[in-house]
Chain A
Amino acid sequence: DAGVIQSPRHEVTEMGQEVTLRCKPISGHNSLFWYRQTMMRGLELLIYFNNNVPIDDSGMPEDRFSAKMPNASFSTLKIQPSEPRDSAVYFCASSPRGLIHGYTFGSGTRLTVV
């Protein structure tokens, strides 16, 4: 099992550009979560999906952020336009049905907006 795979590992972009982060969850996991990690705010839940359907996006900070899950094996988080305050590490995690087993996290994407 390759685990949760995120790409790219690092992204540096200029303010105003569109950024797309990608995630491949573990096969068979029903739920997928996007988190943002910063020194100031810690881990923030942005959005999560159950069976490819977005369930709660109340953590998405602004309309500049959007997420999709077109199928069970792929999800994207898009920021358009990006701003310097979006600089953070973005994690994707997946879990099987129910949370009793916790999550499996990807290695994260470190985003720097200059």
Chain B
Amino acid sequence: GNSVTQMEGPVTLSEEAFLTINCTYTATGYPSLFWYVQYPGEGLQLLLKATKADDKGSNKGFEATYRKETTSFHLEKGSVQVSDSAVYFCALDAGTALIFGKGTTLSVSS
């Protein structure tokens, strides 16, 4: 079946550090892939997406590349800020609904 696996958190970084949050998926075919972000007390917001292999989604300095060969969609940012502290969810389009990973908490300190 379809599933998404994210690295377990929390991830704790200092401001301006490099960020990677790993995400791998299992799916039939080539689903669209997404990263969502959830700030404290809020709903999930779409951060970026990629709809086919080798696509790179990007937004607000975050990037993720759809890697078919490794079934991965890792989230990266070159220099994190305190304001990036949030929970990040990887998700895939299962055709009828999105399937989400369990989320990775990022905490950035100044």
Contact = CB atoms under 8 A, between A and B. Distances in A.
Interface stretch (A14-22, A41-49, A67-75, A76-84): A41-49
Interface on chain A toward B: helix, strand, loop, or mixed SS?
strand
Interface in A32-81: 33, 42-43, 45, 48, 55-56
A60 to B, nearest CB: 14
Contact of B34 (A43, A91, A102, A108): A102
A2 interface: no
A107 B42 contact: yes
A100 B102 CA distance: 21
B51 A91 contact: no
B98 A103 contact: yes
Interface of A: 4, 33, 42-43, 45, 48, 55-56, 91, 93, 99-108
